[in-house]
Structure 1
Amino acid sequence: MEKMRMESVDMTEKNIEKIESLFPNCITEGIDKDGSIRKVINFDVLKQLLTKDLIDNDESYEISRVGKKKAILASNRPIRKTLRPIKEKSVNWNTTQNLYIEGDNFEALKIIQESYLHKIKLIYIDPPYNTGKNYFYKNDFSIDSNEYDEEAGFIDDNGERLASNPVGSARFHSSWLSMMYQRLLLARNLLTEDGILVCAIDENEVFSLGMILKEIFGEGSYDHVCVSVVHNPRGQQGKNFSYINEYAIFVFPKSIKAIADKVISNDDISWSPLRNWGSESERKDARNCFYPIIVKDNKIIGFGDVSPDDYHPTQTVQDNDTFYVYPIDRQGIERKWRYARQTVENVWSMLRPKKIDSGYDIELGKNFGVHKTIWDEKKYDANEYGSKLVSSLIPGGGFSFPKSLYTVLDTVYAATADDKNAIIMDFFSGSGTTAHAVMKLNAVDGGNRKFIMIQLPEDLNDAASRPGLDSRLKSNIQSTIKYLESKGAALTICSIGEERIKKAGESLLQEYTQNKDLDVGFRVFRIDNSNMTDVYYTVDEYSQDLLSHLESNIKPDRNDLDLLFSCLLEWGLPLSLPYNSEEIEGYMVHNYNNGDLVACFDENIPDSVIKYIAKQQPLRAVFRDSSFESSPSKINVGEIFKSLAPDTRVRVI
């Protein structure tokens, strides 16, 4: 009977398998550290297969930096970590399909590789910006100059400097780039074939991040678009320029139409994208582009007739509660609409009013323009729709200028308008804006999108006591700490995110009463060491007393749920599916997703219970190694499954 691995997947082995399928003659054998034979790649053969010319040098177009090779090795290396379910912190544990993971995102991405391989439609991340000013993240990723010189090869074995003029500022970027590089390597594996990555960033690393994204995703297969998000300027932030922009780098497959078309708001300002502004757009020609748009109760209800002559009113006309909106600009000059009356009528069936806050958005069909690369509407402002929104849900808010809800919501819409069952991941989830945006969009359009949030549980007291902390932010953090203490919650960033998602969900259920099935829950998991005991004793260290401690290979503080979800991870099953547990003859049997996996972790399980499980013919079955009294009992289990459920894969932990 096969034993489970109980560690994350070895990405090096997976990559070798992929290369072997394409270039089998590149595969040879090597000797591992323990003396065993394993598959390795003959890189000289591989290099020559991938070029028409004789390779005579190692130069290539790439972004090179200190720690790059180490980052690649780290991303491939398996870890002995797992996810432990935390039911008491979860919301709607039994029914929700959303996940919240507490822990280092690099470890989390490794752990979920099998379960979410090619299943994530959108990855949206807002990583630390390498500014050294945000006290919730390790945002200053500079490394010691001597450490940099050694890793870069500027110092020889005797401590002598090999280069008289080493790179000056590169060390301030290398560590940050390595941190991002290894996470993005893992994240790429999780995207669907039409999946999209969006990375928010500021001017400090936008150019270097763009380079590594092109390296990881490739320029030939993916488009890399930089969107500028404009914020309301507040004071002078620089000596020569005041920064009011941040950037969102969109990465998506070149071969498909990945981004949904623009959603245009129904207010005075946001008619702009529908109107032509140039002098050539005045009323001189194209009469079919001067029709009125009829609005009633804040909804577009139709389109009026084109005037038979050159007359048009100079302003919007109101008839009781109905408005006739003409293409008039703010100076009263009539401009033609971008789209002719016939074009609009052809896609009228695609128009669908959607309530968002106090106004309505109108989803225009695919004939109506795409997103522009500058997002300058007021709703993208981080203070108005970020800080104030979080503070309205959690006293203090605890964050300095979190993302505007609508910056993320519009991104999620753009990526998933055609896939309302998509999975969206954010592995720098912070205050939980991405989760909030996913739930709100589902409430608006009836979707069933799922989110996976990952966040390091950084200590709030540590953040509040750091020297040089802005007094306003410090006060906010302290207010948040008091609020979390009153709730009995852990004083970490994760608690802020979890509480924000919970409060946002409650608010959405009250606002969108028609959407009774809206999923506003989430299952909480925490990264921890393996459920399995670690044994490092040599033969001469064994004693009679020691044997009593080796009776079980499971750590004593782990329960059935811990073991069940670790098995799901190894077998590549998603963590959001329903399951039930029932007691059979005094033994607890867990059935995950109606037979995807059935497990019993009790000891000395009788044949009658084994037969009960086998008769259900699950796809997979798992037991503890100590579930059987002896080796013959273990062999007998295999025979029972061969007889009653020959297609079931049976393993032990």
Structure 2
Amino acid sequence: MEKLDGKSLDLVKTNIEALKQLFPEVVTEGKIDFEKLKLVLGEEIEKRNERYEFTWHGKTQAMKLAQTPSTGTLRPDKASSKNWDTTENLYIEGDNLEVLKLLQKSYFGKIKMIYIDPPYNTGKDFVYKDDFRDNIKNYKEMTEQTTRANTETNGRFHTDWLNMMYPRLKLARNLLADEGLIFVSIDDNEVYNLRALLNEVFGEDNFLRELVWQRHAGGGNDSKYFAVDHEYILVYAKNINSIKKLRVPLSDEDKKEYTGKDEYLDTLGPFKTKDFRRMRPDDPRPNLRYTIIAPDGTELYDEWKWEESKFIEKYKENKVQIRKGKNGKWIVEYKIYLNEGEEGEEREKVPRSLLIDIERNSEGKRQLTNTFNQANIFNNPKPIGLIKFLLSIGDRDGLILDFFSGSATTAHAVMQLNAEDGGNRKFIMVQLPEKTDEKSEAYKAGYKNICEIGKERIRRAGEKIVQETGKIDLDIGFKVFKLDSSNVKLWDPDFANLEQTLFDLQDNIKEDRTKEDLLYEILLKIGLPLTTPIEEIDYKGKTIYNVGFGSVLLCLENEIDLDIVNEMMKHKSEHMTPKVIFKESGFINDSVKTNAIQTLKKNGITDVRSV
């Protein structure tokens, strides 16, 4: 029976295995021979000491941090969740570095779009300082104290920000699907460094565009030099070769305009029709050649786009006009509106890099105030319209990840856009439970940390969307998980009291943890999504978990006997051989454990594990 590894995905081991697959000849006695690797790569090796590179103090450590597996887990919190049994949305409380590590196995290559609005490093933002030795312990300590800003007087002002962002972006890239996109909001303080950072992590070839969003309009007369009206959104692809043409739906204003010009099309303008009469019946193409009478009586004869009957029909539909051009001659125009594509096709347009007609920062504040019926709950929330625009660039389904969730605008935008366009997007929000200031309106209203604000916003926004749209089939729920240390005790003996330590490890599950805590840790470690369907089977007072319609069967009880094992076999999948997992100390005795393994083998099951 194989023991389950308590760590998240080992990225170093994964990278080495990938290198072995590409170049098996560079592997000598299980290790990479770099001299052979150089020979395989030929001339594509940088040998010069002087070369362009982007570096800073702590970069190597930050890279190692991204590659170090997490020993933590995500514990379910049903009490603060909504529609636990049916929702496919997630809200995760915790340090996003550790959370991103824990999501590696279950969500590797499965995220369609990432949007993040990280700290801008203005001197007032909190920049989380990771601990290479024990980041779970560090996280718990940090969340017990008031968060502190990364002030400009700090000698490593930019360095600390880069060390925070680098490992998180490295891990985030792994989660993106091959056709996935990442959007990162930023302002002038770090846009240069962020661009260089994203170039390194995603590759310069995968850079798509730097969007400029007008966040303010007017004001700023008290500025010393320039009033800053804009921010940036950097857009990168996971693999630009997998990206199709990017398109966004037409706005209501777009639909009032027209395109598709041919030699007769120019601009709009009303005109009054007179009578239409056919001329020259002996013309070789009489169906397209006829005379149109201009408003001043001028007869316009030519070969037209439509037959006369269709011309008259389109004129009545306001799809045709006659106007005078710059040379004084009459021009016939066929108005083809943007929203009129081929039959059954929805017209779309290319997204623009200058975002000046999208909701601004003040609208985000107003939206949050309306949601909570109270002002100043959260500082500078992004407007829903901005996130909806970015979401609309991608597919109408798939997973959306935001690991700097803040007030959960992204979750709000996902639900709103799904209601509007019939999409089936699902969200994963990740947020550090930063404490709110005791003097803030949020704290006075009972929200002691930012996560409480985000969760409450999703609850309220979802109900309001359903009420306003009448669409009761929308997924407006979310499962809450919280970052914590592993549910399994680590081998860290107290040599002063070794006998007691050995006795405690007879049951290696921590006393304050539940079977459900352990269940979801197992799902993460074997690579199943946290929203995988789970059926709880009660057999003689003990619980059997049927995960993924029989793909994984678990019993995490004590006093496991062969009857339980035989009952589990009744629920195995007909389409695949299941994994079977038990608690290490759960069997009545070693003889039952041995017989259980043999019983499973007789049923064709060899993947048997324990925790």
* Counterpart among 553, 564, 574 of residue 508 in structure 2: 553
Matched, 1:444 2:424: no
Equivalent runs, 1:111-130 vs 2, <5 Å? 111-130=102-121
CA distance in 2, matches of 1:338, 1:255: 39
* Counterpart among 97, 100, 104 of residue 91 in structure 2: 100
Cα displacement string for residues 457-509 of structure 1 (whole angstroms, at most 9, x for unaligned residues): 0111xx345xxxxxxxxxxx32x2233x3xxxx61100000000110000010
Cα displacement string for residues 326-380 of structure 1 (whole angstroms, at most 9, x for unaligned residues): 999xxxxxxx9999639975535324xxxxxxxxxxxx24xxx411110101x42
Q: 1:57 to 1:249 in 2, by over 3 A?
A: same
- Identity within the alignment, %: 36
Letter in 1 for 2:354: I
Q: 1:224 to 1:28 in 2, by over 3 A?
A: farther
Letter in 2 for 1:520: I
Letter in 2 for 1:495: E
Matched, 1:503 2:481: no
* Counterpart among 481, 506, 519 of residue 475 in structure 2: 519
Name stretches of at least 5 consecutive residues in structure 2 with no aligned partner: 128-146, 271-290, 297-315, 323-330
Equivalent runs, 1:152-191 vs 2, <5 Å? 171-191=156-176
Query: Does the aligned pair in 2 maintain the 1:75–1:183 contact within 8 Å?
Result: yes
Q: Secondary structure at the match of 1:524?
A: strand
Query: Does the aligned pair in 2 maintain the 1:237–1:243 contact within 8 Å?
Result: no
Q: 1:81 to 1:545 in 2, by over 3 A?
A: closer
* Counterpart among 344, 347, 354 of residue 349 in structure 1: 344
Matched, 1:205 2:190: yes
CA distance in 2, matches of 1:464, 1:325: 62
Partner of 2:450: 493
Greater alpha carbon shift after TM alignment, 122-131 vs 4-13: 4-13
Partner of 1:6: 6
* Counterpart among 560, 565, 582 of residue 520 in structure 2: 565
* Counterpart among 257, 264, 268 of residue 287 in structure 1: 264
Partner of 2:141: none
Q: 1:327 to 1:185 in 2, by over 3 A?
A: farther
Q: 1:183 to 1:344 in 2, by over 3 A?
A: closer
Partner of 1:225: 209
Partner of 2:15: 15
Matched, 1:533 2:489: yes
CA apart distance, 1:50: 2.7
Query: Does the aligned pair in 2 maintain the 1:587–1:602 contact within 8 Å?
Result: yes
CA apart distance, 1:274: 5.0
Q: Secondary structure at the match of 1:287?
A: coil
Query: Does the aligned pair in 2 maintain the 1:290–1:327 contact within 8 Å?
Result: no
Q: 1:273 to 1:290 in 2, by over 3 A?
A: closer
Letter in 1 for 2:160: S
Partner of 2:226: 241
Query: Does the aligned pair in 1 maintain the 2:123–2:152 contact within 8 Å?
Result: no
Q: Secondary structure at the match of 1:627?
A: coil
Partner of 2:350: 370
Matched, 1:621 2:577: no
CA distance in 1, matches of 2:463, 2:225: 45
CA apart distance, 1:2: 0.4
Equivalent runs, 1:205-604 vs 2, <5 Å? 205-220=190-205, 222-231=206-215, 232-236=217-221, 238-252=223-237, 253-258=239-244, 260-267=246-253, 274=258, 286-290=263-267, 308=292, 341=336, 346-351=341-346, 364-365=347-348, 369-377=349-357, 379-384=358-363, 386-394=364-372, 395-416=374-395, 420-460=396-436, 463-464=437-438, 477-478=440-441, 480-483=442-445, 485=446, 491-513=448-470, 515-537=471-493, 541-604=496-559
* Counterpart among 43, 48, 57 of residue 48 in structure 2: 57
Query: Does the aligned pair in 2 maintain the 1:274–1:337 contact within 8 Å?
Result: no
CA distance in 1, matches of 2:332, 2:97: 49
Query: Does the aligned pair in 2 maintain the 1:443–1:512 contact within 8 Å?
Result: yes
CA apart distance, 1:141: 6.7
Q: CA RMSD in A?
A: 3.2
Letter in 2 for 1:127: P
Query: Does the aligned pair in 1 maintain the 2:88–2:478 contact within 8 Å?
Result: yes
CA distance in 1, matches of 2:45, 2:380: 54
Q: Secondary structure at the match of 1:255?
A: helix
Query: Does the aligned pair in 2 maintain the 1:142–1:176 contact within 8 Å?
Result: no
Q: Secondary structure at the match of 1:632?
A: helix
CA distance in 1, matches of 2:583, 2:540: 18
Q: Secondary structure at the match of 1:180?
A: helix
The alignment's TM-score, normalised by the length of structure 1, stands at: 0.76
CA distance in 1, matches of 2:317, 2:370: 34
Matched, 1:651 2:588: no
Partner of 1:609: 564
CA distance in 1, matches of 2:222, 2:176: 37
CA apart distance, 1:260: 3.7
Q: 1:215 to 1:533 in 2, by over 3 A?
A: same
The aligned length equals 540
Q: 1:193 to 1:548 in 2, by over 3 A?
A: same
Q: 1:28 to 1:67 in 2, by over 3 A?
A: farther
Greater alpha carbon shift after TM alignment, 101-110 vs 529-538: 529-538
CA apart distance, 1:211: 1.1
CA distance in 1, matches of 2:420, 2:332: 27
The alignment's TM-score, normalised by the length of structure 2, stands at: 0.81
CA apart distance, 1:647: 3.7
Q: 1:442 to 1:622 in 2, by over 3 A?
A: same
CA distance in 1, matches of 2:151, 2:175: 26
